[in-house]
Amino acid sequence: MANTLLEVSGLKVAYGGIQAVKGVSFEVQEGELVSLIGANGAGKTTTLKAVTGLQPVAAGEIKFMGRSIKGQGAWDLVKQGLVMVPEGRGTFTRMTITENLQMGAFIRNDSEIEADIEKVFTIFPRLKERRNQLAGTMSGGEQQMLAMGRALMARPKVLLLDEPSMGLSPIMVDKIFEVVADIHGRGTTILLVEQNASRALGLANRGYVMDSGEVTMTGEARALLADPKVRAAYLGE
Ligand code: ATP
């Protein structure tokens, strides 16, 4: 039996009078890579923020490992294993790579933190080379890697990635998607929010398409990639 880690149903989120998310439902099973795609302003980031406790929920339910987490704060959710890498990365620019990674383990109190930093370095050799460099002096792609590495330090049960490829050069975009696949291949469950629909669906098991605050299509990623409506609206065909 598949184990549902994250289950969102009828989620509504508003900014003042503006309904940004209008009754969204989706789920993520253990071991899956699920992609949430859609155009600019479709409500993807708002959905992630509501799930991770950063934006109040107007209606609906959010369950993590079978229990309601609605209304819980971001800190408590990270402790439970729901960890987001935000759009724009949010690295600590005046800290070194290693210090940033240590910050990712702030909720932990165990003896494996150093060993986990070494594991992150095997996924991101570039971070190891630059371990003593200040994060603020790194390129956008390197900072994205650092933000992902830092999130892994919290040992996420579900890793939520918000637009990891945004603003990066084509070579860096390739690298970032390779790394997302690698992290998934090593056993981490991932919810990937992306405007780059073809790359995101190319990696995913399943996908959800959002438009104007609603989920308009869902299915196996391969089927969505082949769907003429998806191809016309999101793959520029
Ligand atoms: P993007 O790829 O641009 O981040 P998105 O699909 O993630 O797009 P959201 O950022 O969730 O979309 O935005 C959904 C809607 O909510 C948009 O109409 C946006 O203008 C609006 N919105 C987002 N943040 C705020 C805010 N802080 N205050 C008011 N409206 C907001």
User: How does DSSP assign 74-121, residue by residue?
Assistant: HHHHHHHTEEEE-TT----TTSBHHHHHHHHTTT--STTHHHHHHHHH
Q: 110 falls in which pLDDT band (50, 70, 90)?
A: confident
Percent of the chain with pLDDT over 70: 99
Instruction: Say how many Å lie between the CA of residue 44 and the centre of ligand 1.
Output: 8
Please state at what angle helix 140-152 crosses helix 170-185, rounded to 10 degrees: 10
Q: Does domain 4-234 have CATH number 3.40.50.300?
A: yes
pLDDT digits (tens, 9 = 90+) for 143-168: 999 999 999 999 999 999 999 999 89
CA–CA gap between residue 158 and residue 199 (Å, rounded)? 20
Q: pLDDT at position 133, please?
A: 95
CB-count exposure of residue 51 (10 Å: 0-12, 13-18, 19+): buried
The better pLDDT of the pair 108, 26 is held by 26
CB-count exposure of residue 67 (10 Å: 0-12, 13-18, 19+): exposed
How do 206-211 and 214-220 pair as beta strands? antiparallel
Beta carbon of 192 within 6 Å of any ligand 1 atom: no
Please state at what angle helix 97-104 crosses helix 140-152, rounded to 10 degrees: 30
Ligand 1 pocket test, pick from 12, 13, 15 with the greatest ligand atom count within 8 Å of Cβ, gives 15
Task: Tell me which residue has its CA closest to atom 20 in ligand 1.
Answer: 41
Q: pLDDT at position 5, please?
A: 98
Q: pLDDT at position 179, please?
A: 94
Task: Tell me which residue has its CA closest to atom 31 in ligand 1.
Answer: 15
Beta carbon of 171 within 6 Å of any ligand 1 atom: no
Q: 66 falls in which pLDDT band (50, 70, 90)?
A: very high
In the chain, domain spans: 4-234
Query: How many residues in total does the chain contain?
Result: 237
pLDDT digits (tens, 9 = 90+) for 124-133: 999 999 999 9
Is 182 a residue whose pLDDT tops 80? yes
Largest CA distance in the chain: 52
The better pLDDT of the pair 182, 234 is held by 182
Percent of the chain with pLDDT over 90: 85
Instruction: Say how many Å lie between the CA of residue 115 and the centre of ligand 1.
Output: 38
Contact 152, 117 (CB under 8 A): no
Give me the interface pTM, i.e. the ipTM: 0.91
Q: pLDDT at position 235, please?
A: 82
Task: Tell me which residue has its CA closest to atom 28 in ligand 1.
Answer: 15
